[in-house]
């Protein structure tokens, strides 16, 4: 497969929307402004990385967090905070916390008068909502510092117990951060922050905690008169190749057939990752199809009203009528 998962979403292109802007909460406010808004049907988020959004330090500090790699959902975050105060800090309190955000593109619309005409403007904007905040009250963060004072703390924090994991799914991203904040009276708060990459735990995928569809973890699956068997058996790993054996004796007619791999994100249009064309007769006799999973394909998850699933679909293209199809889910990640 040429390209990446995010390239599928970037295909729509990125175009500015004059006069429109977007904003995200601190510390993900580095790009607040026109860069977070775009023309109708264009894309913004697929062109951005979480690190592009982060303001790592405010003016009161130099330095930052060092985050060890390898954090898993339900595991631990190993970090070190090393900063130097560049001005006097007199805060009402100071706190280290782990905070997660759901970032997504949303379509916006506004109708207004232009002379005697009524004009409707449509655009796309990036928004964020807080998923969870986990304060680490046991971390001894001083509230008062003189210019030049240094902080050097090793921090062990729980990762999100059930997730969701860190993902960039195109029009949706889940971003976890570690933050040290100083509550400044009558002034802007001081903050040091870092992105924490939290990977999906394979045991959670296998545990049945998430609703991924009854077929998602099965190698062999029958639906109606058809079978869609996945090899190797799920869960599958991004960056690998898998095969699907499709046999559908009742398939007939049409202008041809396809076997496709989709990603389904709640409240978003399905995205076709890969598609293989064939004659309908191939489905009747039985056919093996191979799919490459992009290296950056996000893992399946289903929690906090956010769902990402993968689906295999075999269909017959019927002229002037709705296509007929059989399908199943498959766990990736």
CATH architecture assignment, domain 204-330: Sandwich (2.60)
**59 contacts: CB under 8 Å, gap ≥ 6:** 86, 87, 190
Q: What confidence score (pLDDT) does residue 13 get?
A: 96
Mean per-residue pLDDT, 270-282 = 96
Give the 3-state DSSP-derived string for 241-257, with helices as H, strands as E and coil as C.
EEEEEEECCCCCCCCCE
3-state SS, residue 206: helix
Beta-bridge mates of residue 258: 277, 315
Q: Where are the alpha helices (DSSP H) in 165-226?
A: 202-207
- Find the mean pLDDT for residues 58-68: 98
**Where does 5-199 sit in CATH, by number?**
2.60.40.640
CB 223 within 8 A of CB 328: yes
| Domain map (residue ranges) of the chain | 5-199, 204-330
**pLDDT tens digits along 123-144:** 999 999 999 999 999 999 999 9
**The tokens 């956010």 sit on which residue?**
306
> For residue 14, how many C-alpha atoms fall within 13 Å in the half-sphere facing its CB?
18
pLDDT in tens, 203-246: 888 887 888 888 999 999 999 889 999 999 999 999 999 999 99
pLDDT at 242: 98
Q: Given the DSSP bridges, would you call strands 301-303 and 306-316 parallel, antiparallel or unpaired?
A: antiparallel
Kindly give the residue spans of alpha helices, DSSP state H, lying in the chain.
Answer: 5-10, 50-53, 202-207, 280-285
Cβ within 8 Å of residue 279, ≥6 positions away: 256, 257
Q: What residues have CB less than 8 Å from 321, skipping those under 6 apart?
A: none
Q: List all residues 6 or more positions away from 249 whose beta carbon is below 8 Å from its beta carbon.
A: 225, 226, 284
Q: What's the pLDDT band for 35 if we cut at 50, 70, 90?
A: very high
């Amino acid at each position: 497969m040429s390209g990446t998962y995010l390239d599928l979403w970037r295909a729509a292109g990125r175009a500015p929307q004059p006069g429109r802007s977007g904003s995200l909460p601190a510390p993900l406010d580095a790009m607040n402004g026109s860069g977070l808004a775009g023309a109708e049907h264009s894309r913004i988020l697929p062109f951005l990385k979480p690190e592009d959004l982060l303001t790592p330090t405010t003016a009161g500090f130099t330095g930052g967090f060092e985050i060890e790699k390898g954090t898993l959902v339900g595991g631990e975050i190993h970090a070190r905070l090393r900063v130097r105060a560049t001005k006097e800090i007199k805060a009402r309190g100071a706190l280290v916390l782990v905070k997660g955000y759901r970032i997504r593109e949303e379509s916006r619309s506004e109708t207004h008068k232009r002379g005697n005409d009524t004009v409707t403007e449509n655009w796309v904007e990036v928004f964020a909502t807080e998923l969870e905040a986990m304060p680490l009250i046991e971390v001894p963060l001083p509230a008062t510092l003189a210019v030049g004072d240094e902080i050097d703390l090793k921090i062990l924090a729980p990762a999100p117990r059930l997730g969701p994991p860190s993902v960039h799914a195109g029009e949706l991203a889940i971003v976890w951060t570690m933050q040290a904040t100083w509550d400044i009276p009558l002034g802007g708060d001081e903050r040091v922050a870092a992105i924490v990459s939290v990977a999906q735990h394979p045991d959670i995928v296998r545990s049945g905690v998430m609703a991924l569809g009854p077929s998602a973890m099965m190698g062999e699956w029958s639906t109606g008169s058809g079978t869609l068997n996945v090899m190797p058996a799920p869960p599958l790993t991004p960056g690998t190749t898998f095969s699907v054996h499709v046999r559908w004796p009742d398939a007939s007619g049409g202008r041809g057939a396809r076997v496709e791999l989709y990603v389904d994100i709640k409240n978003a249009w399905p995205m076709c990752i890969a598609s293989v064309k064939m004659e309908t007769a191939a489905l009747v006799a039985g056919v093996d199809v191979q799919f490459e999973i992009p290296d950056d394909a996000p893992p399946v998850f289903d929690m906090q009203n956010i769902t990402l699933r993968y689906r295999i679909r075999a269909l017959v293209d019927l002229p002037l009528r709705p296509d007929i199809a059989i399908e199943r889910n498959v766990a990736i990640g």
